Amino acid sequence: MAAQDKYCFERDKKESERLDVQHRVLVRTSGDTLIHPSIPVEDIRSVADIATGTGIWLRDLKKSLDTPQVDRYYHGFDISSEQFPENPGAIQYSVHDLTVPFPQEHWGRYDLVHVRLLVAALEESDYKAAIANISRILKPGGHLQWEEIDAVTYLTKGYPVLSELYRCFDYGLTAEGKCFQASAKVYEETRAAGFVGVERLCYDSHKIPDLHHDVEERLTAIIRTLYAFLLLRSKQVDTAEVASQEAENLAEEHRRQCAEGNSPPLKLMRVVGQKPLYPSSL
C-alpha cells in the first residue's frame, strides 16, 4: 500500500470481480456510452484512465475505439498496482497518486482523461489538486470525463435501504474528511480551474429497461462488502462478526423490498469538461 493511500476499501480478487461486474451495470446505466457523446471520438489518439483499478473501462474503450488505420495510446494509472491485469497487452499501467503531479513525460499528452469512483479515496481538500494534475496531462482542447456514484443515489427518497446506506457512508466518509457529494465537488473544481463546457449529468438506471435485477445484485454486493467494511472501519460496530450480521440483515431487507416491487435505482453521476485550447484562460 502506498504511503498516501487513503482509499478505504479492499483490493482482493473478490473486489476485482465486483468492480468488473459493476462496470457492465454502469455502462448500461449510461445508455451504453463509455464516453459522453459530446466528446468527439474521432479525435481521440491518447487516453488516460486514472484510478483505473482492474483497467476494465480502459480495456473496453480500447476495444470500442481501435481500428487498424489509427494508432492510439492507452495508459491506466492507480495509486496501487494490486488490481492491474496480469496481461496488460498494449495498455500501459503505472502506479500514481492523482493528488500528486504526474511525471513530466505525461504533460500535455492526453486527448481524454477518464476518472471513475474516487468518492471513497479523496479528501475534500484533494479535489482541487486532482483537477490541476489532470489539466496538466491533458492536451489543450482535451476532455475530462469523471464519473461517481455518490450521495445523489443514496438520497433518493422512498428507499429505506438506500437511506441506511446513506447514513453509514456519510458518517464513515465524513469521519475521514472525504466528500460524499463527490460529483458536485468535481463540477465546482473543474469550473474553477477554467475548463469549458462543464456539465454534470445524472444517469438513472430506472430509465433503462431490464436493468433492475443487475442493479439489485450490485447493491447486495455493496451491502456485503463496502457497507460491512465501513461499519467496522468507522467504529459504528465493535467486531467484524457484528458488521457482517448487520450487513446480512440489510441485505435481507433489500431482498424483501425488491420482492415487493420497491427496487432502488442507481444514479451514475458524470462530469464532463474541456481544457481550453488557449492556456491564458487556465
Q: Is 79 in the site for ligand SAM (CB under 6 A)?
A: yes
CB of 105 to ligand SAM, least distance (A): 18
Query: Using the rule CB under 6 A, which residue among 47, 65, 112, 117 binds ligand SAM?
Result: 117
Query: Using the rule CB under 6 A, which residue among 29, 83, 135, 181 binds ligand SAM?
Result: 83
Query: Using the rule CB under 6 A, which residue among 25, 44, 51, 152 binds ligand SAM?
Result: 51
Residue identified by cell 500528486 is 100
CB 23 within 8 A of CB 58: no
CB of 81 to ligand SAM, least distance (A): 9
Q: Which value, to the nearest 10 degrees, does the dihedral of the CA atoms of residues 78, 79, 80, 85 take?
A: 0
Stretch of 50-58, 185-193, 216-224, 244-252 lying at the interface with ligand SAM (CB under 6 A): 50-58
Query: Using the rule CB under 6 A, which residue among 56, 151, 182, 247 binds ligand SAM?
Result: 56
The DSSP output letter for 282 is: -
Query: Using the rule CB under 6 A, which residue among 7, 73, 107, 166 binds ligand SAM?
Result: 7
3-state helix, strand, coil split of the chain in percent (to 5) is: 45, 20, 35
Query: Using the rule CB under 6 A, which residue among 60, 62, 72, 80 binds ligand SAM?
Result: 80
Q: Is 99 in the site for ligand SAM (CB under 6 A)?
A: yes
Q: From the CA atom positions of the chain, what is the Rg in Å?
A: 19
CB of 66 to ligand SAM, least distance (A): 20
Query: Using the rule CB under 6 A, which residue among 35, 91, 98, 221 binds ligand SAM?
Result: 98
Q: Is 148 in the site for ligand SAM (CB under 6 A)?
A: no
What angle (nearest 5°) sits at the alpha carbon of residue 250, between those of residues 255 and 20? 75
Please say whether the dihedral angle defined by the alpha carbons of residues 205, 206, 210 and 212, taken in this order, is positive or negative.
Answer: positive
> For the chain, how many helices (H) and strands (E)?
9, 7
What region does 21 belong to: left with phi over 0, alpha with psi -120 to 50, or beta? alpha
**E strand or H helix at 228:** helix 228-233
Stretch of 94-102, 104-112, 173-181, 207-215 lying at the interface with ligand SAM (CB under 6 A): 94-102
Residues in contact with 91: Cβ distance below 8 Å, sequence separation at least 6, in sequence order: 55, 58, 59, 62, 74, 75, 76, 85
Q: Is 58 in the site for ligand SAM (CB under 6 A)?
A: no
CB 160 within 8 A of CB 126: no
CB of 60 to ligand SAM, least distance (A): 10
Stretch of 36-44, 91-99, 227-235, 243-251 lying at the interface with ligand SAM (CB under 6 A): 91-99
For ligand SAM, the binding residues (CB under 6 A) are: 7, 19, 23, 50-53, 56-57, 78-80, 83, 97-99, 116-118, 121
